[in-house]
Structure 1
């Protein structure tokens, strides 16, 4: 009886090891889902339905494509160990935000594409370590504001896309460090030209007109070109809460100085009040685990079941034949 039992145990151990190797595989040649090119050091994981980034990307990878997947979040260690990356595309995923430090190890990155996600905000210093970056794509997201100094370290940047977001303003001095910039796409944003903090962007566009492509297309919500805004038109000092709603300080001062008896009681719809406070319904709730089992993993599971069943049958029937 010891022979069949040992044989069965050996089969189970081998099949389990095979499954572990298959689930850990990255490249198609190893049973994974991504296409890898050893000569160009590129890894293409585009359009694979991934909900998590593969954990075993080769450390010498130069070009990594993760676009057109279902990534909705990233761990802060997602790209640790990939310091040789020069190209990273995360276009067309479902990323509403990034963790602090997620790009800090990508010190050689030249091109970063983050367009067509659901980004609503950027953490402070998110690009501070990407000092070699020349192209940054942030278009077609839902960005409502930019952190102060978000582009200050990007002195090599040549192309920046911010189009089709929800931006009403940019921080004072936002583009001052972009000494090599040649193209900035600003169209498709609801620029608020009634508040005086739009004057920085208006002045910057006038100074760079004819030198930087794409900037003249920035228009106010009233369709007037941002570069044409005057100080008289943008006279209000506006306060921006954690929403896209701007409140002129003159209104706040008037309300603060008035007696309670003089203020009429107005009905405020609950949804408007929530919007002012910055409350927003989540775009979606997680409906699937943030993990990935490749096709080879499924095949490995089936193989394990077959081998295990065969081993059990062998153990049961061997004595009868003996």
Structure 2
């Protein structure tokens, strides 16, 4: 009766191996598209044409790089299992909005990169849980305004990048909680120096001048006059809704991503395909790296099934003899 026991053990081992392969195909060594450094708990998925965040990122990951991809939206729970993250890079994607609560579980986060996306606005209190954050990059987006109190909890922040956006003002007391701040990038924004509420920014720049780097580079949109030099007479207008005015266009060329977004996506049945890949958003067509990962995974699956079938036949053969 030793034969059937050995066959049953083989069946269990093969089944376990198949499940492991299906769940862990994230890193290149396992047939995935990302590079993993297990010693440093680092996962690098940069530049892989990803349209969705892999759902099987190890929970112990501390550094996650997702830049230079094609991410256009995030699930509100995209990072809720990654509570150990200290570094998150999402730069150079196609994000136009951030869902509320998307960063709520990242209480250990130290650096957050959101630059070079297409962000037009931020949800209220989106950074409230990031009380250990020291570096925040929001540069080269299309932000037209900032929510009231959006930086209020970032008392450890040292660097804030807001350059090259469409900001015309900041809310009253917007920077007052940034007690550790040492650098703020404010240049290449169309600051509206005709409105009275620009005086908060002017006063803050004057107060921090010499202690906070690069703030002097903020210039008025109309005459390129430095914001810190404007007078109460310059800012005499009582602008009721300064953020509803037409934003100054960044460039005259239409981004390729806008053209792409105008093309309706072709919907194809791919539920099983996405479940095997472990990706969160089934409404996107698979990218080339995902297809490669899928082919590799299915080849492994077919091999596992063949070996499993052989093991089952082996069991039946010995049971029949018994």
For residues 1-322 of structure 1, the aligned pairs below 5 Å read 18=18, 21-22=21-22, 25-222=25-222, 223-240=224-241, 243-245=244-246, 284-285=261-262, 287=265, 289-290=283-284, 292=286, 293-301=290-298
How much does 1:239 deviate?
2.0
In the superposition, the TM-score normalised over structure 2's length comes to 0.75
1:155–1:177 Cα contact (<8 Å) kept? yes
Distance in 1 of aligned mates of 2:304 and 2:232: 78
- Offset at residue 244 of structure 1 (A): 3.5
Query: CA–CA distance in 1 between the matches of 2:181 and 2:105?
Result: 24
Distance of 2:301 and 2:58 partners within structure 1: 28
Instruction: Give 3-state SS (helix, strand or coil) of 1:206's partner.
Output: helix
Long gaps (5+) in structure 1: 1-13, 247-280, 312-322
Q: Secondary structure at the match of 2:198?
A: helix
Higher deviation after alignment, 182-191 or 293-302: 293-302
In the alignment, is the contact (CA less than 8 A) between 1:33 and 1:294 conserved in 2? no
Give the Cα separation in 1 of the matches to 2:199 and 2:242.
19
> Cα gap change, 1:24/1:60 in structure 2, threshold over 3 Å: closer, same or farther?
closer
Q: State the aligned residue count.
A: 266
Give the superposition deviation at 1:21.
Answer: 3.4
Structure 1 position 299, deviation (Å): 3.1
Root-mean-square deviation over aligned CA pairs: 2.9
Structure 2: how far apart are the matches of 1:241 and 1:184?
Answer: 22
**Long gaps (5+) in structure 2:** 1-13, 248-257, 267-282, 310-322
> What are the Cα deviations for residues 20-61 of structure 1, in whole angstroms up to 9, with x where unaligned?
934751111111111111110100000011000000111110
Tell me how far 1:283 sits from its aligned partner: 8.1
Query: Partners in 1 of 2:150 and 2:92 — Cα distance?
Result: 22
Cα offsets for 1:190-248 (capped at 9, x unmatched): 000000000000110011111100100000012000001111110111122763449xx
**CA apart distance, 1:287:** 3.4
Residue range with higher mean Cα deviation, 106-115 or 24-33: 24-33
Report the Cα offset of residue 294 of structure 1: 4.8
In 2: Cα distance, 1:70 partner to 1:165 partner? 20
* Distance (whole Å) between structure 2 residues aligned to residue 144 and residue 131 of structure 1: 25
TM-score when normalising by structure 1: 0.75
C-alpha contact 1:89 1:112 (8 A) present in aligned 2: yes
The answer to whether the 8 Å contact 1:23/1:297 transfers is no
* Structure 1 residue 296, shift from structure 2 partner: 2.4
Q: Secondary structure at the match of 1:74?
A: coil
Following TM superposition, by how much is the alpha carbon of 1:282 offset from its aligned partner in structure 2, in angstroms?
9.3
SS in 2 for 1:184: strand
CA distance in 1, matches of 2:214, 2:194: 22
Q: CA deviation at 1:152?
A: 0.3
